[in-house]
Amino acid sequence: MPPIRQFYGIFLVAFLSFLSIAAGKASQRPNIIFILADDLGWNDVSLHGSPQIPTPNIDKLSREGITLNNYYTMHLCSPTRGALLTGRHPMQLGLQRFVITETTPFGLGLNETIMPQYLKPLGYSTNIVGKWHQGFFAKELTPLYRGFDTFYGYLTSHESYYDHRCFCWAKTESGKDGYDFRDNLSLDVKDNGTYSTYLYTERAQEIVREHNQSTPLFLYMAHQAVHSGFGSNQPTSVREELEAPQAIIDKFKYINHEGRRRFAAMTYLLDESIGNLTRTLEEEGMLDNSIIIFASDNGGPPAGISYNYASNWPLRGAKASYWQGGVRAPAFIWSRLLKQTGYTFSGLMHVTDWLPTILHAVTGSPPKVANLYGKDMWEALSEGGKSKRDTLIVNWDMNTGAIIRGNYKLVVLGYDEMVLNRSTWYKPEGIDVDTVNFTVKCPARDPTLPPCTNHTSPCLFDLDADPCEYNNIARKQTNLVKVLWAELMEFAGAAQPPRNCPDYKWADPAYHGGAWVPYISLNDTRHDRMC
C-alpha cells in the first residue's frame, strides 16, 4: 500500500482526471515541455548582457514569454531535481546534503509523489529525456517505476558526452568508470560514440512527432549540457571534460581561453537544441497549446571548478554555494496560453513552485495538494501579478545556510567547506568585463562594513541595492537578522535528516559488466544499509 502522502496525491489527480475526461476535456490540456539545463550560469545566456556566448533561441523565447528575474534553485543537481519533481523543499525530502552519488544506496524517497504521477492520471503521456539523478540503487527508484512512460538518457550524475561513461563519484574497489546510457529499461550501446546533446534533441523531436495528439504531452528534457564530462578519474585537460564537435568549437575562436571556448560550444548546442525542439512543436501543430519552461538546475561552476568554465558574473559565488551565483538561475516560461507575455517577472520564485503552477495550468484551478513548499504562481505569471512568495529558504545543512525575505538575504557561514571555498566573484575568461553592459549592476563596496566570513556570520544583504552581495549590513539591521535567523531555524528544526548513506561496494560497475545498474533488490532483507 502506498504511503499516505503519495496515496493522497494520486487520489486527488485521479479524481480530477475522472471529472475532466468525462467532460471530454483531456485532449485540450496544454502540453508541458520542461527543459532543464545542467550547470548553466547566470552570465552564460546573452539575455543577461554578455555578448561572449550568443543564445538566440533562449533569448527569443524568454523575451516573447516571461523572463524570470528572481528565480532560485537549489545549489546542486539532485536537490534541485527532487524539489522540481515533488514541489517540496529538499530539507523536507532529506536531499539537502550534497548529491545522490552512484555508490551510495539512497535516492528520492518512494513515499514522494512526483510530477508525472500527478500528470499521468490527467491523461498525459509522460516522457523524460536526459539526466535522472534521483537514485538508482534499486529499480523502483528509476523513471519508469515513478510515473514516466518513456526514458532515454542516463541515471547517474554526469558522464562523457561521446562514450557515455561515468567515473562519477565512484569510491569503488576497481576504481573504474562505468557505462550509463539507457533506452527505457535497457542499456543502449548503439549510440556509444554519438554526442549526447544531438541524441537528446533527436529523441525529443521524435517524441513530439510520434505523439498522439488526442492526449496531452509532458516532456521533461533534462539536458546533460553544460555539465563537464567527468568521464575519468584523472582528466588531463579541459579537452577531455568539456566536449563538443570541433566544428562548433571553431565558431568561438574569438574566445582566447580554451576552457571557456569549449564551454561556449556546449552552450551553443544547448541553445540550438531548444530552437530545434520549438520548431518541431510548431511543425506538428502543437506549439499553440504548449507551455515551455526553461531553467538551469543551479549556478555555474566557473574558473575550472569541476573542470568547467561557466560564469555567474557579476553575481557572487558558484555552484554548491548559497551565494547568488550558486542559486539564482536563468529561467523563463513561454506560452501563447499566458494572458500577459513579453515582460520580466521580478517577483520571488523557487524551483518548488513549478509543480503547483503546472497543476493549476493543466487543471484550470489552484491545486489542493498537502505539504508542498512550492507556491502556485500560474495566475501571478499569466496576469502579471504579484508573486505568491515573499520568503524563500535557500538551504540549511552543516551549520551553513541562507534565507531570503523580500529584498533581504541572510547568509550563515558555518563549517561547510565547499560553501566557504566558493565565496568570491569569478570573472569570465576571455572577456573584459568593464566593457560589457550586464543586466545586474553592482554597487560600490563600502569599506566600513565587515566582510562576510564564518567569523562574522550571520551576514545580511539588501539584494535590491546590492545583488552582488558586496556589503554586509547585518550590524545595521540587528532585529531583522534575529527574525530571519529564527525563521531559518524553525524550518531547519522540522527538516528530514539527510538521507545520505555510506558507500556500498556492490555498486561498482566491475560487478555488473562494466555498467552502472541498480544493485540492490528491495525485497532482499540482507541489505540493511538502505536509507
Active site residues: 77, 133
Return all residues near 167 (Cβ < 8 A) that are at least 6 apart.
Answer: 176, 177, 230, 231, 232, 233
**C-alpha cell belonging to residue 412:** 550563515
Annotate 16-34 with three-state secondary structure.
HHHHHHHCCCHHHCCEEEE
Vertex 360: Cα angle to 357 and 365 (nearest 5) = 145
Q: Pick from 19, 5, 213: which is nearest to 121 by CA? A: 19
**C-alpha cell belonging to residue 243:** 566536449
Rounded Cα distance between 40 and 71, Å, is: 14
Phi, psi of 177 (to 5 degrees): -85, 180
DSSP string, 336-380: TTSSS-SEEE-S-EEGGGHHHHHHHHHHSS----TT------HHH
Rounded Cα distance between 452 and 461, Å, is: 10
Three-class SS state of 488 = helix
Cβ atoms of 223 and 273 closer than 8 Å: yes
- State which amino acid sits at residue 357: T
